[in-house]
Structure 1
Amino acid sequence: MTRPELIDNKPIQAKESDPPNKPLLLQIERLQTYYPVRNGVFSNTVSHIKAVDDVSLSMYEGETIGLVGESGCGKSTIGRSILRLENPRSGRIIFDNEDITHYTQRQLKPVRTRMQMIFQDPYASLNPKIRIFDALAEPLIVHKLAERREVQRKVDSLLQLVGLPRSASNRYPHEFSGGQRQRIGIARAILCRPKLIVCDEPVSALDVSIQAQILNLLQDLQDELKLTYLFISHGIGAVKQISSRIAVMYLGKIVEVAEAEELFRNPRHPYTQLLLSTYPAPDPTLRTNKKMIIRGDVPSPAHPPSGCRFHTRCPYVQERCLKEEPVISEGHHTVACHYPLTL
């Protein structure tokens, strides 16, 4: 990697491009989701964990955006905030032309049929005391998506769609392997025929061979059901396989967004280069020129550094980085860095 822009001290601007020729499905604008830190006998709020801090992102119908970063950077909180499982502190969430930021639970009920979630731990997301049939039938009945006489047929059809036999509906979660339980979780996510599915590290708890099967299943279902995915993971390899675009997150902020192939060939933020330097890419052309050595630990999200949040660990830090927070650039390859990397 070279940094010619350090000579004239001017950041490189991304090349402008038109948005994809698809309808806009989701737009989050300057989203903030904080968690209070309480102390003392009266549990007074003394600080806030800034899990998501001023994040903006757009998603188009039919695409998959991979959201990648270290554990604790706020990836899952973004997904939960989009689904309104967490209440954002500020910002806007516009889904399918509706501003759902301040919707009540009653207002959210019809919206939830159009946006679903696949959880990381498939066993914890299933009630161990009820049969799989009951777990899949309940949403169909609650949302009035099927008559009672049609429920069995719809459940059988769902199980076949995710690669499980019809007989699975009469069994309990503990009778399945991890990969099979995740297939059940996927069946539950698609049963309402949603437009958007938030996949919160859906393969991280599975064996490598099973991961590939689940990723292939997600891609097949996307093509067949016209789904849009927000795919959250700390594993850069899985994100590359399934994503059309990738957003890189660090300490509550998105620092880079680009098409998957472009991000691997030309990572422009130092933190992205760090992530890719740990990825054993089989194609030598997709590897960074050298391994990055990063000093220090991730700062506390309760007290993030001033200026660029990555400056405490960045090998290219300059005086400006300590004081001035970078603004993400515009275009098809955006980066929030005063001195972006270039090949």
Structure 2
Amino acid sequence: MAEKNIIEKQTDKPLIEIKQLKKYYPIKKGIISRTVSHVKAVDGLNFAINPGETLALVGESGCGKSSTGRTIVKLEEPTEGQIIFQGNDLSTLKGNDLRKVRLNLQIIFQDPYSSLNPRKRVGDLLAEPLLAHKLAGKEEANKKVEEILEIVGLTKLHKNRYPHEFSGGQRQRIGIARALILEPDLIVCDEPVSALDVSIQAQILNLLKDLQKKFRLTYLFIAHGLGAVKYISDRIAVMYLGKIVEIGKTEDIFKHPKHPYTQALLNAYPIPNPHLRDRERIVLEGDVPSPANPPKGCSFHTRCPIAKDICRQQTPKLLGSDQSVACHFPLQGGVN
């Protein structure tokens, strides 16, 4: 597997741009299945990822992170908006045109076991995309399978085993190998370490970082664990009820969060310094509101400790350059 030129400087042109992306799921009732409402899983996202960069998408369960990732790779059809990848609008592509673009766009799933066909050997699973896209014959595909298994920390002997014969960490390495074998430019990592033990999480994160340097990969890293996010990401986008409420460089987000929701997520992240146990915290109360009936105004105002009348009436815009925030009263302090 050929290494990409890692000396090449990062260009100013984004690898992928998301413009006003929406994904609504219809709620149907009655005998004729009439649509009565929609679940607004993704509600008007705008962001871009540069070549060689890792953008982390974080938030509580149910905020629309996985729906965003699945929509970007066209496992879900977008309701509205544009997905501009390498100059192609994926939201309009279908058939063979979409298949060609997908060679450079792959996904790693949260649960590697459910995403691997239990009736196929690992070698066949990894060779399948090469054969399906007619990129290699059987002999060449077999060589690439052995090579990619070595790259992700397994051996060529593992190609003859079935998925159930592997541990969780090994299965995730197989999932990474399957995403990597087509030599993509962008990989969507949909909570790839959340189902693994802590020690195995560290191994997988280190593997992802090593692969990124070796093959100049670009990641959209979806997670709710801020420890993993801090280690692997260059920038962080904080998502709440289908919208991005804050986005900026990882260091800036951790040191100077501007949105109360970001601050609450950081407060939930354990820190090793016992002297900071009594630091001021924002503690969230209640559950995330239903995306089928989101609150008016700022969607976070029902749980926000500093919400005022304007928050209940007007939806704040995502404003700022290096660190953007969607809040009428952004926080001014930082965290130690």
**Could you say which TM-score interval applies, normalised by the shorter chain?**
over 0.9
Question: What SS is found at the alignment partner of 2:37?
Answer: strand
In 1, Cα distance between equivalents of 2:287 and 2:50 = 35
In 2, Cα distance between equivalents of 1:211 and 1:43 = 43
Q: 1:179-203: per-residue Cα shift (whole Å, max 9, x none)?
A: 0000000000000000000000000
1:226 aligns with 2:216: yes
Matched residue, 2:32: 42
Tell me which amino acid in the other structure corresponds to 1:120. Answer: Q
Report the TM-score, using the length of structure 1 for normalisation: 0.92
1:122 aligns with 2:82: no
Q: 1:106-127: per-residue Cα shift (whole Å, max 9, x none)?
A: 3210011100000000100100
Cα distance, 1:284–1:220 mapped onto 2, change above 3 Å = farther
Matched residue, 2:324: 334
Cα distance, 1:201–1:102 mapped onto 2, change above 3 Å = same
Assess if the C-alpha contact under 8 Å between 1:265 and 1:285 holds in 2: no
Tell me which amino acid in the other structure corresponds to 1:252. Answer: G
Pick one of 94, 115, 127 that aligns with 1:104: 94
Pick one of 244, 254, 259 that aligns with 1:269: 259
Q: 1:273-331: per-residue Cα shift (whole Å, max 9, x none)?
A: 00000101236899994222223321110000000000001000011101000000030
Pick one of 281, 285, 300 that aligns with 1:295: 285
In 2, Cα distance between equivalents of 1:275 and 1:291 = 10
1:60 aligns with 2:63: no
In 2, Cα distance between equivalents of 1:277 and 1:236 = 10
Assess if the C-alpha contact under 8 Å between 1:255 and 1:337 holds in 2: yes
Assess if the C-alpha contact under 8 Å between 1:278 and 1:291 holds in 2: no
Q: CA deviation at 1:101?
A: 1.0
Cα distance, 1:339–1:64 mapped onto 2, change above 3 Å = same
**Cα RMSD between the aligned structures?**
1.5
1:168 aligns with 2:158: yes
Q: 1:61-97: per-residue Cα shift (whole Å, max 9, x none)?
A: 0000010000010000111111111111111110011
Tell me which amino acid in the other structure corresponds to 1:234. Answer: H
Q: How many residues align?
A: 324
Q: CA deviation at 1:39?
A: 0.8
Pick one of 275, 296, 317 that aligns with 1:306: 296
In 2, Cα distance between equivalents of 1:273 and 1:109 = 41
Matched residue, 1:157: 147
Q: CA deviation at 1:26?
A: 0.5
Assess if the C-alpha contact under 8 Å between 1:67 and 1:232 holds in 2: yes
Tell me which amino acid in the other structure corresponds to 1:128. Answer: P
Matched residue, 2:6: none
Assess if the C-alpha contact under 8 Å between 2:11 and 2:51 holds in 1: no
Tell me which amino acid in the other structure corresponds to 2:53. Answer: E
1:216 aligns with 2:206: yes
Q: CA deviation at 1:35?
A: 0.2
- Percentage of pairs with the same residue: 57
In 2, Cα distance between equivalents of 1:287 and 1:22 = 41
In 1, Cα distance between equivalents of 2:245 and 2:28 = 29
Assess if the C-alpha contact under 8 Å between 2:110 and 2:194 holds in 1: yes
Assess if the C-alpha contact under 8 Å between 2:267 and 2:283 holds in 1: no
Assess if the C-alpha contact under 8 Å between 1:31 and 1:55 holds in 2: yes
Assess if the C-alpha contact under 8 Å between 1:257 and 1:335 holds in 2: yes
Question: What SS is found at the alignment partner of 2:69?
Answer: helix
Instruction: Out of 275-284 and 113-122, give the one that drifted further.
Output: 275-284
In 2, Cα distance between equivalents of 1:89 and 1:286 = 45
Deviant stretches of 4+, over 4 Å: 283-288
Cα distance, 1:126–1:75 mapped onto 2, change above 3 Å = same
Question: What SS is found at the alignment partner of 1:169?
Answer: helix
Pick one of 193, 196, 199 that aligns with 2:189: 199
In 2, Cα distance between equivalents of 1:339 and 1:49 = 28
Pick one of 224, 247, 261 that aligns with 1:257: 247
Matched residue, 2:76: 86
Matched residue, 1:11: none
In 1, Cα distance between equivalents of 2:50 and 2:31 = 48
1:142 aligns with 2:132: yes
Matched residue, 1:13: none
Report the TM-score, using the length of structure 2 for normalisation: 0.94
Q: CA deviation at 1:99?
A: 1.2
Structure with the bigger RCO (C-alpha within 8 Å, sep 6+) is: 1
